[in-house]
Structure 1
Amino acid sequence: MPSRAIHPALEGIQLVVFDLDGTLIDSVPDLAAAVDSALRDMALPEVGEAAARDWVGNGSRKLVERALQAVGAQDRNLDGAHDIFLHHYRLAPCRATRVYPGVRDALEALAARGVALGLITNKPTAFIAPILACLDLEHYFALTLGGDALSTRKPDPAPLLHLAERLEVAPSACLMVGDSRHDVEAGRRAGFRTLAVPYGYNHGEPVSASEPDVMVESLGELV
């Protein structure tokens, strides 16, 4: 039986770099729970999961900053509030986090084809390995990079170029897969091909407005 034709987005691609939150996993339930726990510790009102869903994507410190602004507590010490958030998130980073449909099939198929896989997230590095291990995803990635690993993070192209250099793949043979304008911008600035999914976290805006090279409804379409 002939093998299925490769998706056009993957033609000539040797390295696929994925965003994590909103692309591979829905982590908002656990992030929102940690935010609300931190706010309770500070005697502030909770914000809830729906609000937090529009604030994810620029790193945990920005998430906490947006929560403080939403409850009118922007004068509070942000570093201290962030530390409280991190404490709660460390306690349960993967209690309600789930892998999106189609993700496992896509990772398995790409790995079987010999395509190198990387992961770049603005999430702090300390949380990447525990979450990937909890969801049984860690074995797919040759390299992972957190938001605090370099001096800059997405939408700066530096993390993408760093990963491509480490894996010795030319940017023109790389694909950036994400759910937000930051992923598309980072990929474009790095000289990567870009692919976006519409179901993630893009601050309430359609990611299609960022004009990625390719849009798919599910990563399962890449199989």
Structure 2
Amino acid sequence: MDKQLLIFDFDGTLIDSVPDLADATNAMLTTLGKETYSLNTIRNWVGNGSRMLVERALVGKIEVLEGELTIEEADHAEQVFFEAYNNISGSKTVAYPDVDSGLKKLKAAGYTLALVTNKPIRFVPKILQTFGWQDLFSAVLGGDSLSLKKPDPAPLLHVCEALDATPDQAVMIGDSRNDILAGQNAKMDTLGLSYGYNYGQDIRELNPTRAFDDFATLVEYLLKN
């Protein structure tokens, strides 16, 4: 592949954070006097950043129509959500199988690793430290680190420039439509993972360069190429 930079998504790719996100979402809804939802229902709302998760929870469905919420309602609910998520220990967030060893193998093989997530950046360092990954990534961007987030290519191109790599030397690795579209929009190869949060859509339908059903197989592919 002749690649040097691997740009990873976070939630749904490296970690399963839905149980903690669901707890924070339901805590927000309880505070606001609204109906709470099951883990499986909230799982389908994750992947487009915290604001969209909050809005979906407020209306109780994945598609939020224009005019259903005021900006003031969504702003207030998002702040309640942030407070709830900040107060959660994070103990329910787990790494997917073989991610910890796989990241270390890729780093040892000479790849530069970066993290581009739509999760607000304020919550990222704590999770990285929990897994001992804070030194693995040469660049880390959250959904609010720039004015634009995935599926816009801006975060990926920003990381390439910061780490002195061209898009054709980089690969975007993720589990969702936002990840694959961001990589394609940045004119870089994309590797899809089928086990994450993609609203029931097969990641292969988005035509990534390659797709894998588990992290170990993805690592094996990268180490051979």
The normalised TM-score by structure 1 is: 0.92
Name the residue aligned to 1:189: 185
> Number of residue pairs matched?
212
| Aligned residue among 47, 53, 58 for 1:57 | 47
Letter in 2 for 1:89: Y
Name the residue aligned to 2:74: 78
Please report how far the alpha carbon of residue 102 of structure 1 lies from its aligned counterpart in structure 2 after TM superposition.
1.6
| Aligned residue among 13, 16, 20 for 1:23 | 13
CA contact (8 A) 1:65 1:78 kept: yes
Please report how far the alpha carbon of residue 106 of structure 1 lies from its aligned counterpart in structure 2 after TM superposition.
1.6
Structure 1 stretches of at least 4 aligned residues deviating more than 4 Å after TM superposition: none
Distance of 1:111 and 1:184 partners within structure 2: 22
CA 1:15–1:40: 2 relative to 1, 3 Å: same
Letter in 2 for 1:14: Q
Please report how far the alpha carbon of residue 26 of structure 1 lies from its aligned counterpart in structure 2 after TM superposition.
0.1
CA contact (8 A) 1:152 1:159 kept: yes
Please report how far the alpha carbon of residue 105 of structure 1 lies from its aligned counterpart in structure 2 after TM superposition.
2.1
CA 1:93–1:201: 2 relative to 1, 3 Å: farther
Please report how far the alpha carbon of residue 75 of structure 1 lies from its aligned counterpart in structure 2 after TM superposition.
4.1
Q: 1:85-139: per-residue Cα shift (whole Å, max 9, x none)? A: 0000001152200000021122111111111000000000000100111122222
Name the residue aligned to 2:204: 208
Name the residue aligned to 2:223: none
Name the residue aligned to 2:131: 135
User: Tell me, which stretches of 5 or more residues in structure 1 are unaligned?
Assistant: 1-10
2:158 corresponds to 1:162: yes
Letter in 2 for 1:42: L
**Corresponding residue SS for 1:139:** coil
2:144 corresponds to 1:148: yes
Percent identity reads 42
Name the residue aligned to 1:177: 173
